[in-house]
Amino acid sequence: MSDKLVIGLPSKGRLQENANAFFARAGLKVRQDGGRGYTGRLDGIANVEIAFLSASEIAGQLEQGLIHLGVTGEDLIREKLSTPERDVELLLPLGFGHADVVVAVPQSWIDVATMADLDDVALAFHTKRERRLRVATKYFNLTRRFFAEHGLTDYRIVESLGATEGAPAAGTAEVIVDITSTGATLTANNLKVLDDGTILKSQANLVGSLGAEWSKTALAAVGEILDRVSAQARASKVVEVRFASEGNDAPLLDEIKARFGVTLPFGNGAATPVCIAHCPEPRLYDLVAFLYAKGRDTVTAARADYVFEAKNPLRERLMMRLKKKD
């Protein structure tokens, strides 16, 4: 691996679009070499290489330390990696690529609503039919761990090579473990999710590899990326409010901090003609009305693109995990 920071991004589809948009919000445009190549770069940051891969490949290369950062689903991290807690750090859930990994059974099984019920069915199935209950899935490891947690052992996994939800109707399995976003496909195939059958609520994550070779160049690049990402995330949650200072504003500022959850990025404003506060957006008008009542006749509010702070929990968490790995 070169000294550069290597980031694995999805190579196609909605995941790629959303990953690119995530970096764009932080002021980092993803550029694909040759327009549609499998390598690229981030405009605005030097010493960064992008590898466009499938979501499954990203999980595998994070485990092997072939890339430093990746955007992939938590379901793939939990399924593909034998020891995810040791090999990677899930830095940030990204708010897209939502899918639940679930246990689903035929709707006609009206008396089966929980994993305990399924355990009873599996035992009866083995006793009466002299074969184990079949579970169709692509998620071997998640299924085994979840079933073991519920004490269910009388089953066998059938590898799903196509549309898993069709396995019960095709007669190749009685139960499935699969991902679902809305449940519509399961319903269309006359399946239902068990009440306690949600194995994992997954979404795309920004993931750091703990096994990659982190050069000083790579560490500097990831530090800048995580600073930008955190600054944009902070800015998206607040509105910057400005109003005239009257000299001794400390009591007023203490009150609005307590009542409206504002932060004061530049202190109490005692030496400046303007007070600046960052207000959570849902409390904005409450704060404005309060300031009117306190005689501050003009209040401006605007969005900041970024709110940078020297203390960055994202960056600090990754650095701490890398030190422990050493």
CATH number at residue 159: 3.40.190.10
| 65 and 105 both lie in a single domain | no
CA distance 144 to 233: 37
Q: Span 221-241, mean pLDDT?
A: 95
Q: pLDDT value at position 273?
A: 85
Tell me: do 180 and 119 sit in the same domain: yes
- Two tokens, residue 281: 């957006």
Structure tokens at 27: 């002021």
Helices marked H in the chain: 13-25, 55-64, 74-80, 84-87, 115-129, 140-149, 167-170, 184-188, 216-237, 250-260, 284-293, 313-325
Q: Among 180, 213, 246, which residue terminates a domain?
A: 213
Record the pTM: 0.88
- Find, among 98, 57, 103, 47, the residue nearest to 75 by Cα: 98
pLDDT at 249 over 90: no
Q: Are 207 and 9 in contact (CB under 8 A)?
A: no
| The amino acid at 3 | D
The pLDDT of residue 33 is 85
What is the rounded average pLDDT of the residues 305-318? 93
Residue 248 banded pLDDT, cuts 50, 70, 90: confident
Which of the given ranges, 70-74, 265-269, 295-299, has the highest pLDDT on average? 70-74
Q: Are residues 81 and 35 in the same domain?
A: yes
Q: What is the mean pLDDT of residues 159-172?
A: 91
Query: Is 225 part of any domain?
Result: no
Does one domain contain both 288 and 162? no
Q: Is residue 136 part of a domain?
A: yes
Tell me whether residue 326 is in a domain.
Answer: no
Residues of the chain above pLDDT 70, percent: 98
What would the two tokens of residue 190 be?
């006359």
* Residue 128 pLDDT: 87
For the chain, the first-to-last Cα distance in angstroms comes to: 18
Paired with 179 in beta bridges are 101
Sort strands 274-280 and 204-209 into parallel, antiparallel or unpaired. unpaired
What pLDDT is stored for residue 54 in this prediction? 95
Whether 105 and 189 share a structural domain:
yes
Report d(CA 223, CA 312) in Å as an integer. Answer: 9
34-51 mean pLDDT? 87
Query: If you search the block for the tokens 């897209």, which residue do you land on?
Result: 96
Residues 72 and 119 in one domain: no
Does residue 198 sit in the same domain as residue 109? yes
**In the predicted structure, residue 119 carries a pLDDT above the cut 70:** yes
Residues above pLDDT 90, as percent of the chain: 85
Sequence letter at residue 100: D
Q: Picking from 34-43, 86-95, 119-128, 278-287, which range would have the lowest pLDDT averaged per residue? A: 34-43
CA–CA separation, 253 vs 262, rounded Å?
Answer: 9
pLDDT at 250: 87
Six-digit token pair at 171?
């007669």
Mean pLDDT, the chain, rounded, equals 93
Q: Is the pLDDT reported for residue 245 higher than 90?
A: no
Residue 257: domain span: 236-302
pLDDT at residue 216, as a whole number: 95
The answer to whether residues 160 and 137 touch, using CB atoms and an 8 Å cutoff, is yes
* 48 assigned to some structural domain: yes
Q: Based on the structure, what is the number of domains in the chain? A: 3
234-262 burial code (b ≥16 CB/10 A, e <16): bbeebbbbbbebeeebeebbeebeeebeb
| CB contact at 8 A, 176 and 136 | yes
The arithmetic mean of pLDDT across residues 250-264, rounded, is: 93
Rounded to an integer, what distance in angstroms lies between the CA atom of residue 305 and that of residue 25? 9
Output the pLDDT for position 126: 85
Residue 89: inside a domain, yes or no?
yes
Mean pLDDT of 83-103: 95
Average pLDDT (290-304) is 94
Last residue in a domain, options 156, 180, 202? 202
Give residue 35's pLDDT: 63
Q: Tell me: pLDDT of 36 over 70.
A: no
Mean pLDDT of the region 236-253: 90
